[in-house]
């Protein structure tokens, strides 16, 4: 079987309600794409029947695959498993809530042709559209967190947390083979590793639709900041096998 151009990894934890619409929308938008693709849902130990819903949909969506993990490991571990299991020449992970529609990947393609190893969606660079804007109680810790991230690890990257990131096959294999963070700060870790390995990173503006049912809790921000400090410490000590 020929290698698909694009692998789409969708981490899913208790997404039985939202994921059918997301997968149908992806398949509809990619139906006439000029490149081949696969969609891989990685079930992170859901308890609401997510795996069963996806399995039923596989009968109608021929590009759809499922990795069904019984144990909940967190988003970082879930994305890592999907990225390493994927077959695509480019591998993109995106959220099950479909906040960023898959057709926005098309604007990333020219940058991969130009030699970038990582291209990420951004809600803050010029041209981005938020519909509606995030509520203030999320904007404030998010902006403060980004200032810390830039100071410690990733100067010049303005949105590390948008769940729409694509990697070349080589970058994906090398980065995710050594990444460790299982929680929300895994985005920061993989981008920091990408930069340390010498891959060029490009931020592109996206149209991002806010879903009020987001699973991120306010308390997660404190854990996120702690994980960011841990990543900086590991890089400083040379604990990653680069």
Is the model's pLDDT at 70 over the cut of 60?
A: yes
Please count the structural domains in the chain.
1
Helix (H, G, I), strand (E, B) or coil at 140: helix
From CA 57, how far away is CA 99, in angstroms rounded? 21
Residue 156 domain boundaries = 6-237
- Grouping H, G, I as helix, E, B as strand and the rest as coil, residue 152 is helix
Is residue 43 situated within a structural domain? yes
Residue 14, in any domain of the structure: yes
Residue 1 lies in a domain: no
Q: What is the pLDDT of residue 221?
A: 75
Bin 86: left if φ > 0, else alpha if -120 < ψ < 50, else beta: beta
Domain assignment present for residue 149? The answer is yes
- β-pair type (207-209, 164-168): unpaired
Kindly report whether the global pTM for this prediction surpasses the value 0.85. yes
Element (H, E) at 176: helix 169-178
Report how far residue 88's alpha carbon sits from residue 14's, in angstroms, rounded to the nearest whole number: 26
Q: Is residue 74 part of a domain?
A: yes
CATH code of residue 187: 3.90.550.10
Is position 159 within any domain? yes
Give per-residue pLDDT as tens, 195-239: 999 999 999 999 999 876 555 565 677 888 889 999 999 999 999
Structure confidence by residue, pLDDT tens digits, 154-181? 999 999 999 999 999 999 999 999 999 9
Average pLDDT score over residue span 43-71: 96
């Amino acid at each position: 079987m020929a290698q698909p151009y694009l692998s789409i990894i969708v981490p899913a934890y208790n997404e039985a309600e939202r994921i059918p619409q997301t997968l149908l929308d992806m398949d509809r938008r990619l139906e006439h794409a000029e490149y081949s693709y696969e969609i891989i849902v990685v079930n992170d130990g859901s308890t609401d029947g997510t795996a069963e819903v996806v399995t039923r949909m596989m009968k109608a969506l021929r590009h759809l695959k499922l990795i069904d993990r019984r144990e909940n490991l967190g988003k970082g571990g879930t994305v890592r498993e999907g990225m390493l299991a994927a077959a695509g020449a480019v591998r993109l992970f995106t959220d099950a809530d479909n906040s960023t529609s898959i057709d926005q990947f098309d604007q990333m393609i020219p940058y991969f042709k130009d030699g970038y190893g990582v291209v990420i969606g951004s809600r803050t660079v010029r041209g981005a559209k938020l519909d509606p804007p995030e509520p203030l109680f999320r904007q404030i810790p998010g902006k403060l967190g980004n200032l810390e991230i830039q100071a410690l690890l990733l100067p010049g990257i303005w949105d590390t947390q948008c769940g729409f990131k694509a990697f070349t096959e080589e970058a994906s294999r090398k980065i995710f083979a050594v990444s460790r963070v299982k929680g929300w700060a895994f985005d920061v870790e993989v981008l920091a590793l990408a930069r340390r390995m010498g891959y060029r990173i490009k931020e592109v503006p996206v149209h991002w639709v806010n879903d009020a049912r987001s699973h991120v809790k306010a308390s997660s921000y404190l854990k996120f900041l702690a994980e960011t400090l841990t990543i900086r410490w590991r890089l400083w000590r040379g604990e990653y096998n680069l």
